[in-house]
Structures are given as structure tokens and as C-alpha cells.
Copies of this chain bind each other. A is one copy, B any other.
């Protein structure tokens, strides 16, 4: 069909940032707006989004601070990972019907250069897996564990948010790559049980007592790698338990994304000197050099049934903000995904 004609008929919804949250975001910070879908230029495609991702890092982009990715603009649509079907193509590289993953979520229709989309193989896994195990989430877990945390066979590994999207994968990858012991923390008894199901050797609910005590009990001989999704008291506990030459892969600090005052922890960072620890912050976009190796490895694990990946699904763009807020509160087990069509 003709792109102009198709675009001319299309009205799509998009979620915009109406105001910047102070502390925990509320529904009023967002607005769903209907707007005509722009005409695709040469080389562009229109993608009807099937599903989109909500991720912790998006909270940071709602603040007006310079960071590794620019902040979301006010009164403009949010963006983020999405999968969809090409419905109009002005590019020789994509045909109508292609399933693609791309970066323009939070909207019904995405219009973008075909080179900014990647065709996915729905024979290998359902499309939403490309937002999760086979996507940025999986690469984050893989890169954080393998390269940033430099995990070695025989290591004891501690992972926070163990029932979350990244944490649940990191734990399984750690076991598959020969970790001697993998310990997880999570925010409820159900999540702890879930982590155990995934193969974590031990897991605890961080509400059950001081994190340091729970960690020492779960890993009495200490840990070698901490995959940090939380910051704060979890990081402090890990610094105490890390053995000499231990590593921290600093992936997230979800415990403090919504704080308006800075956390006092970790108060024991000086332990890093004598124990010669390395703490390394990372963002997945710097680890593209691992993408092929990761994709091949993860595809094999999925085919062999060695990695389990669960989703918590919310239906409808109109519920995407609710899904995002729920993810920040930890309502999800595994990856939080919004189904759009």
C-alpha cells in the first residue's frame, strides 16, 4: 500500500511526559494523546507496536538532569524498547509483515528509519522475548556478569532484584557459566520462591532483617561478585561480604531512583581499599561488542530449555503508566511487558 495514504489515515496514541515527577511518579505526570502518525520518509518504516518494555532506567530520564541518555522532553512522547510489525515500508531492507525490535515504544505506531529496527525471528521465541531474554535485558545481565563483574567459574555471586527481569537472568547465567553458588535477594516470599525455582542456591526476602545478616547467612564464606540492581543497604552488605579482589557490577539503584534526599549508604566503601575491590558502573549500550556472542549463546540456552524467562503482562497502552509504576514498586515477577495489540 502507499505509505502516504496509509499514514494519512492513521491516528495513533502516544504517552507523553506532562510534568517531571518529584520522588515517586504519579499518573498525573503522564498524558495519553492521540495524534496523526507522521508520513514515513525515504528509508523509513511504519511499525505497529505489538508490545513495549517498561524499565527502571526510564525513571532517571524523567528528571531534568544531564545523564548518559538525554532526559525525556516535556510534552513529547516517551521512548523505549518495543517490538512490532512493519505495516508500511519505504525501505528496500524491510518488507511489510516483518517483525522488528526498535526503540520507539510508548506509542501505537512508530515511524523511523529502517536501519534503527532489527528483524527478529519469531520461530526462536515469542516477540516479547526480544525485549527480555534475547534483548537489552538479557544483554544487560550477560555483560554485567561476564565482562563488568568478570565472573569466573567457582565464584560465589550475589544478585539483588533476583526475581526481576535482569536479576532473574543474571542468576541463571551465573549458574550456567559455572558459579559455585548464586544468592539472590527479592522483596517478597513469592519472589524468593521464584528465584529458588530458577536455580538460585539461596535467596532471601530483604524485608526479613538487615541485608548484611541475611547475606552472611546465605553466603557464610563471602562473595566474589555482586550484581547490583538496588544500591543502598544492599551494596553496603555486599561490600562487607566481598572477598579480596571482589567485583561489583553496578547496574541499577532502584532503591533510590525515587528518593528526593541522597542515601547515606554505603557507609563502608573504604573496605574497597584493603580488599582491593572493583566497583564498575555500566550501561548496556556500551556493550554492543558482546551482542552477537550473547545472542548466539542465549538462543542456544533458550532452545535447550536451560534459561527460563517469565513475563508479567499488562494489556493496553492506556495501562502502560500503571505498568511502569507497578514495575518501580516491584509488582512484576520477571520482565514487565505492556501488550499493545
Q: Which residues of A contact B (CB under 8 A)?
A: 60, 67-68, 231, 235, 244, 250-253, 256, 262-264, 266-283, 286
Q: CA of A264 to CA of B232 in the docked complex: distance in angstroms?
A: 11
Residues on B with beta carbons closer than 8 Å to the beta carbon of A235: 269
| Cβ distance A282 to chain B, nearest Cβ, rounded Å | 6
Task: Tell me if A's interface is mostly helix, strand, loop or mixed.
Answer: loop
Copy number in this complex? 2
CA distance A168 to B126 in the complex (A): 60
A271 (CB) vs chain B CBs: closest residue: B281
Contact A282-B286, Cβ < 8 Å, known A264-B264, A267-B263: no
> Which one, B267, B269, B274, B280, contacts A278 given CB within 8 A?
B280
What would be 9 A-B contacts, judged by CB atoms less than 8 Å apart? A68-B274, A264-B267, A269-B279, A271-B281, A273-B281, A275-B281, A276-B283, A276-B286, A278-B278
Known: A68-B244, A267-B262, A267-B264. A272 touches B279 (CB 8 A): yes
Distance from A85 Cβ to chain B, minimum over Cβ atoms (Å): 33
Q: State A251–B67 Cα separation when bound (angstroms).
A: 28
Query: Does the CB pair B244–A273 fall under 8 Å?
Result: no
- The docked-state distance in angstroms from the alpha carbon of A251 to that of B276 is 9
Q: How far is the CA of A128 from the CA of B283 in the complex (A)?
A: 47
Cα distance, A272 to B250, chains bound together (Å): 7
Which B residues lie within 8 Å of A272 (CB)? Answer: 250, 279-281
Q: How far is the CA of A286 from the CA of B277 in the complex (A)?
A: 12
Asked whether, in the complex, the Cβ of B286 is within 8 Å of the Cβ of A273, the reply is no
B279 touches A278 (CB 8 A): yes
Task: Tell me, rounded to whole Å, the shortest Cβ–Cβ distance linking A64 to chain B.
Answer: 14
Q: Could you tell me if B278 and A256 are in contact, using CB atoms closer than 8 angstroms?
A: no
Interface centre among A244, A250, A286, by most B CB within 10 Å? A250
In the bound assembly, the distance between CA atoms of A262 and B239 in angstroms comes to 14
List 5 other contacts, CB 8 Å, given A263-B267, A276-B286, A278-B281.
Answer: A250-B269, A273-B281, A276-B281, A277-B280, A277-B281
**In the complex, how many angstroms separate the beta carbon of A45 from the nearest chain B beta carbon?**
31
